[in-house]
Amino acid sequence: MEQLLISLPVLIFSVVVHEVAHAWVARTQGDNTAAMLGRITLNPLPHLDPFGSILVPGIMALTGGPILGWAKPVPINARNFRNYKKGDILVSLAGVASNLLLAVLFTLLLAVAMLATRLAPGADGFLGLLQVMFFVGIRINFLLMLFNLIPVPPLDGSHVFYYLLPLKLAVRYRRIGQYGTLVLLAVLYLGGFTFIGVPVRLLTGVAVSAAQAMAGA
C-alpha cells in the first residue's frame, strides 16, 4: 500500500504530461482538436482513465508487479497536420520525449534531495521520502518511455515504425492495427515486461549514479 501511495501520484503526473505533450505538439503541427477539448492542461481530471490511471496501477502494485498505467489518449486528427508524415512522427515522439525529460528532471530533484539530506540530517525522514518518490519518478518515466517505443499499435513507436517499412509491408502493418491491443497483451504475457525491465534498470541505475555524483555522495 505504501508503494501505491508513493507511486500513483507520480504515475498520474507522468502520464498526464505525456498526453499534454502529444496535444501541444499536435497544435504546433496544425491540429487544434485536443486544445479545443481542453486537453492542454496539467489538471489531471480531463486526462484520467479510471481503469488505466487508477485500477490497473493499483492491481499491479498490490501484486508486486511493475507500476504502469495510462491516461485517456488525446484526440488527434492527423488530417489537419500541415505535413501528415512529419506531424504524425513528431506528435508520436512527443510523449516519449516528455517521459525522458521527466526522468532527467526527477534525477536532478533526487540529487537536490540527497544533498539536502547531507546538509540537514535532522530532516532525513521527510527528505528520505522525497528521495524515494524521485527514484520512483525516474523508474516510472523510463518504463513509460521504453514501453511506448514498442512498435505495436496503438503505442507511439508504431507510428514511427510504420514509416520505416516498405509500402506493401506498411499497408499490412496498418491493417493489423485493429488487433494491436491483443498483440500487445500477448507480448506482455510472453515476457515483454521482463524484456523492458533490463534497460529500465540500467537507465535507472545510471540516473541514480549521476544524482549521487551531483550530490557529492
Catalytic residue numbers read 19
List of residues 6+ apart from 215 with CB closer than 8 A: 111, 112, 114, 115, 118
Residue 2 CA to its chain's centroid (Å)? 22
Residues composing the chain: 217
Put residue 191 in one of left, alpha, beta given phi > 0 → left and psi -120 to 50 → alpha: left
Q: How far is 108 from 22, CA to CA, in rounded Å?
A: 24
Q: How far is 141 from 54, CA to CA, in rounded Å?
A: 17
163-172 long-range contacts, Cβ below 8 Å, gap at least 24? Answer: 163/85, 163/88, 163/89
Q: Maximum CA pair distance of the chain?
A: 65
